[in-house]
Structure 1
Amino acid sequence: MDFKDLHFQDEPLLIANVWDVPSAMVAEKLNFQAIGTSSSAIASLLGYQDGEEMSFSELEYIVKRITVNSSLPLSVDLESGYSRNPKEISEHIKSLADLGVAGINIEDSIVNKTRTLLDAETFARALSEVTQILKEEKIEIFINVRTDVFLLGHPTPIQETKRRIKLYEGAGANGIFVPCLEQISDTKEITQSTKLPINVMCMPNLPNFKTLQDIGVKRISMGNFVFDHMYNQFKTVTKDILTQQSFKTLF
């Protein structure tokens, strides 16, 4: 099934967020339908903070290693595009498409000491230019636009999210990602405001997948939470080795 079509199944598309070849291979063995990179996890892996501290070339290298070793459709977290210039963003997307990437996430916030929302109209104009360039060059890739209204605690999050969705839909987005959605009523109102598939992310109070399906969610992702949990487990195991002066905890 085409990656875009996976967003219109009866059940939501569950994305396994990965950060390297071994995590991608685990997802493939578990029969996930698709995988997506976590920019935060990859940044942490390379010793950076999230927010485009790593270079696009470093991201591209890891993406290449994943695509060479996995046959699953891959969506790449492109953060804010690693540029504010639509032509440069388009070049980055084309480079990923050349590697066989099926989709990208691009977000409407940037990190400059702190994370802040970009002006919605300015971002939508840039997005429109990007999607037009890709269309002219016949590059087919799923553009999942992340809006960080809820993540950044906007005072009127539902209204602002719906406003941005309308703008981004007009600019050529294929899907909308709204991290930090948790409430059923909020999520339902947002899914009903657009025909685009809505993506939610792992959160402490996120409803179960069946409930999300019932209220119209089409894509569910894990963010960096599995990565963080794995390294917490690593800390626990290695602490046990130190305490017990033995490797029995491993076996």
Structure 2
Amino acid sequence: MDFTALHQQNTPLLMANVWDAASARAAHEAGYQALGTSSAAIAAMLGYEDGEGLSFDELLYIVTRIKSVTCLPLSVDVEAGYGASASDITSNLTRLAELGVVGVNLEDSRVIKGVRQLDDAAVFARRLTAIRHQLDDARCRLFINVRTDTFLLNHPQALHETLLRGRLYQQAGADGLFVPGLTSEHDIAILAQDIPVPLNVMCMPDLPTFDRLGELGVKRISMGNFIHSKMHSTLTTFMRAIPSQQSFAGVFINESS
């Protein structure tokens, strides 16, 4: 089943968001159907702030290492595209496709002086149209999952603005719509029904169960950087416990269970 078809199953596609070869291998062995990178997790792993803090070449290297350990379909979070123009962004996406990447997440927000801000919807849509046309001209097929940060940034009319942006982006060439921060069943159902591309939601404390999300019309579920953050929290706990306890006992406490 190709990557696009995975978004048309009876149950939502659960994406494993990974950040290196080890996490990709773990997800592959756990039986996930597809992988997606987490920009925030990769940035944290390399000591950067999220928001295109690392270079595109560094991202490309991480992608090559992930691809070296798994044959699962891989979608890469390219944030705002790592480029000032549609041509720059298209060039980056083409380089990813040459590695075997099948999809990307492209965001309609940017981190400017440490603050994430929404792009103008019409400006973003025009850029997306140009990117799609240039990819088509190059015979480069990528699933473009557009991330809109209307809910994540607490837009005062988040549902209305998301509907507007979703329709606009679909017309501009988006294959999917990713709405992180979306948890309301009412809002999920409206967006899934009214936007004619697969709806992607993200791990959040109040997110409905996967079965319920499927009933509401969700087609893709992402983890974001939450798994990486959980693992890092565990690592921090162990690192603090070792000198405090003057022993490695805590490292092996569950080894025999």
TM-score scaled by structure 2?
Answer: 0.96
Deviations 1:160-181 (Å, cap 9, x if unpaired)?
0000001100011000000000
Partner of 2:72: 72
Cα separation, 2, equivalents of 1:152 and 1:184: 19
- One-letter amino acid matched to 2:25: M
CA distance in 1: counterparts of 2:66 and 2:99, whole angstroms: 10
1:137-189 superposed Cα distances (whole Å, 9 cap, x missing partner): 11111000000000111110000000000110001100000000011111111
> In the TM superposition, what is the alpha-carbon distance from 1:52 to its structure 2 partner?
0.8
**Which secondary structure does the structure 1 equivalent of 2:194 belong to?**
coil
Aligned AA for 1:100?
G
Moved over 6 A (4+): none
Opposite residue 180 of structure 2, the aligned amino acid is P
Q: How many residues get paired?
A: 251
Deviation at 1:243, TM superposition (A): 2.3
User: Hey, what does 2:162 align to over in structure 1?
Assistant: 161
SS of the residue corresponding to residue 17 of structure 2 reads strand
Match of 1:184? 185
Provide structure 1 residue ranges, at least 5 long, that are not aligned to the other structure. Answer: none
Q: Give distance in 1, aligned partners of 2:241 and 2:51.
A: 34
Which whole-Å deviations, capped at 9, do the CAs of 1:101-131 have from their partners, x for residues lacking one?
A: 0100000000012110000000000000000
Contact residue 125 and residue 169 of structure 2 kept, 8 A: yes
How many angstroms does 1:244 deviate by? 2.0
Aligned to 1:122: 123
Q: Please report how far the alpha carbon of residue 241 of structure 1 lies from its aligned counterpart in structure 2 after TM superposition.
A: 1.8
CA distance in 1, matches of 2:151, 2:184: 11
Matches within 5 A, 1:1-251: 1-113=1-113, 114-251=115-252
Query: Aligned equivalents of 1:142 and 1:58: distance in 2?
Result: 22
Task: Specify the SS of the correspondent of 2:48.
Answer: coil
- Residue 213 of structure 1: CA displacement? 0.4
Compute the displacement of 1:194 (Å). 1.6
Q: TM-score with structure 1 length normalisation?
A: 0.99
Whether the 8 Å contact between 2:180 and 2:202 is mirrored in structure 1 is yes
Q: Return the letter of the residue paired with 2:40.
A: S
8 Å Cα contact 2:170/2:196 also seen in 1: no
Identical-residue share of aligned pairs (%): 51
Deviates more, 1:235-244 or 1:155-164: 235-244
> What SS class does the counterpart of residue 15 from structure 2 fall into?
strand
Give the whole-Å Cα distance in 2 for the aligned partners of 1:5 and 1:244: 52
Counterpart-to-counterpart distance in 1, 2:164 and 2:80:
19
Q: Output the amino acid matched with 1:166.
A: R
Q: Which amino acid aligns with 1:9?
A: Q
Counterpart Cα distance in 2 of 1:6 and 1:218? 9
Specify the SS of the correspondent of 1:76.
strand
Cα offset, 1:236, TM superposition: 1.4
Give the deviation of 1:242 after TM superposition.
Answer: 2.0
Question: Cα distance, 1:239 vs. partner?
Answer: 2.1
